[in-house]
Amino acid sequence: MALKGNLRDFSITQLLNLINLAKKSGALYIEGPSDIAQVFFRDGKLTYAQIGQQETSLLQLLLEANKISQTQFNLLTVRTNNLSDKEAGLLFVNSGYVNQSETFKVIEDYLSGIMRSLFTWLDGYFHFEQNELPPAEKIPVRLPLENLIVEGARKIQELDELRAEIPSLEMALKFVDRPGIDINHLNLSPEEWRVISYVNPKNSMQQIAQTTKLDDLQIRKVVYALLQAGLVEIIRPGGVPVALNGKVIPQMNHKEQKSLVDRLIGRIRSI
Amino acid sequence: MQTQTVKIVVTGPFNSGKTELIRSVSEIDVVSTEKKITSDIEKIKESTTVAMDFGRITVDDDLILFLFGTPGQKRFDFMWEILSEGMLGFIVMVDSTRPETFKEARNILETFHASAPTPYIVAANKQDMADAWDVEDIRLALRLDPAIKILPCIARKKSTVKTVLLELLYAILDEVEGKTEN
């Protein structure tokens, strides 16, 4: 089924969160204001990204990351003239210019940079093509999205937007029962840790903000990041909501309630 | 014996299909206060609910189920609390083809659940449309708890509406029997 829309309505951060939680594989295409981005995922992890038609070669990335010198770059440019990134990567590792983990780290940093620039795209049509693979000549990485999501969420500066996301600070927070992320891979800021330490169904966000000396914008930013990371959820203060007086229909006893609902079910079935 | 009435509320953003859902199963013509739309933004359909929809299903001689549809636009949110009073549970309708309304659907859901902690389910409407988002993708977009049911729905098809109503009633039954703590 379609996974498409506009970034005005569904932000990059929300999209990454969805792709991460659903462990989707495929390509996300975004038609931004001045460019087109292609981002590939496998099992909810980032494998490759590109903005526009300009591709940056592995050799160029290694130079920019100071992993090779300009002289080495000039020399290797000639040697890798007709090689794909995959072939060139093997050559660099086998020749001892870089090791494998350094190579992956350089690529991951580059892809993270692309994703950071995508966070500034607030408008643009997007669509997701299930199971579409990245270009075969590129070195695929498996970059977890959690930190990118949190970072992207941090970039949302507008209080109005945050107010739309978190309308009331009178609500409380609780940790989700099954976090959709690997917590070991998550880096939290000091502010986020401070808020985390007060997450409890009994504490409203307003109370947490007062205790941690955060203003409305700051607490909303932190909570939004934690929500997007799938760490917490918003609930009513006091804990899990329970029906009034423990009864669906307060005036009736338990047996009468059950009988009433059974009759309703029977009637709906007969429609 | 005095006839007892119970109610289920159908809520959701503007043009999500609330009126159509009620119309599909109501035994009376849906009583709705509709007027011509004046706002350009809302000119997706010709008329919209400005007070509420009202459908009825007679269960037996002494029990009637009312279905109330809330107005979708935010400027009528003062009605939501009035409508939610005393309800058995509620259905949140979502237009599966309009991701721009998901955020609003989530806000409506949270508002309703905060003011009336009764069981609820989400109906992902317009699932027959080519542009419809997958139900599980909508679940993630709405940040629904795994315990909350989200069902595919085509509001003009009685069979899918029946399923939605039944699933809500099962959730209510679970609540009565103390199986869930929504």
Binary contact (B176, A267; C-beta < 8 A): no
What mean pLDDT is predicted for residues B46-60? 71
Bridge partner list, A100: none
Q: Is B179 on the interface with A (CB under 8 A)?
A: no
A89-98, A125-134, A220-229, B134-143: least confident range: A220-229
Q: Out of A3, A258, A271, whose CB is closest to B158? A: A271
| Domains of chain B and any CATH numbers | 4-176 (3.40.50.300)
For residue B69, pLDDT beyond 60: yes
CB nearest A248 (choices: B60, B170, B172): B172
Question: What gap in Å lies between CA A6 and CA A21, rounded to an integer?
Answer: 20
Q: Does B3 touch chain A (CB under 8 A)?
A: no
- CB nearest to A269's CB, from B137, B145, B166: B166
Question: What is the pLDDT at residue A107?
Answer: 94
pLDDT attached to residue A240: 45
**A92-113 mean pLDDT:** 91
* Yes or no, beta carbons of A258 and B173 under 8 Å apart: yes
Q: For A196-220, what is each residue's pLDDT tens digit?
A: 878 888 888 988 988 887 877 778 8
B118–A248 C-beta distance less than 8 A = yes
Residues of B in contact with A264 (CB under 8 A): 6, 59, 63, 65, 88, 169
CB spacing of A167 vs B176 below 8 angstroms = no
pLDDT average, residue stretch A12-34: 91
Reported ipTM: 0.85
- Mean of the per-residue pLDDT values of chain A: 84
What would the DSSP string read from start to end of chain B? -PPEEEEEEEE-STTSSHHHHHHHH-SS--EEEEEE---STTTTSSEEEEEEEEEEEEEETTEEEEEEEPP-SGGGTHHHHHHHTT-SEEEEEEETT-GGGHHHHHHHHHHHHHH----EEEEEE-TTSTTPBPHHHHHHHTT--TTS-EEE--TT-HHHHHHHHHHHHHHHHHHHTT----
Give the domains, in start order, of chain A with CATH numbers.
Answer: 4-147 (no CATH), 158-235 (1.10.10)
Band of residue A243 on the pLDDT scale cut at 50, 70, 90: very low
User: Does B74 reach chain A within 8 Å, measured CB to CB?
Assistant: no
Size of interface A-B (CB pairs under 8 A): 121
Which among A48, A61, A111 has a CA at the least distance from the CA of A89?
A: A61
pLDDT digits 0-9 by tens, B135-166: 999 999 998 988 899 999 999 999 999 999 99
What is the distance in angstroms between the Cα of B8 and the nearest Cα belonging to chain A?
Answer: 11
The residue in chain B having the minimum alpha-carbon distance to the alpha carbon of residue A234 is B110
Interface check for B107 against chain A (CB to CB < 8 A): the answer is yes
> How does DSSP assign A207-237, residue by residue?
HHHHHHT--HHHHHHHHHHHHHTTSEEEE-T
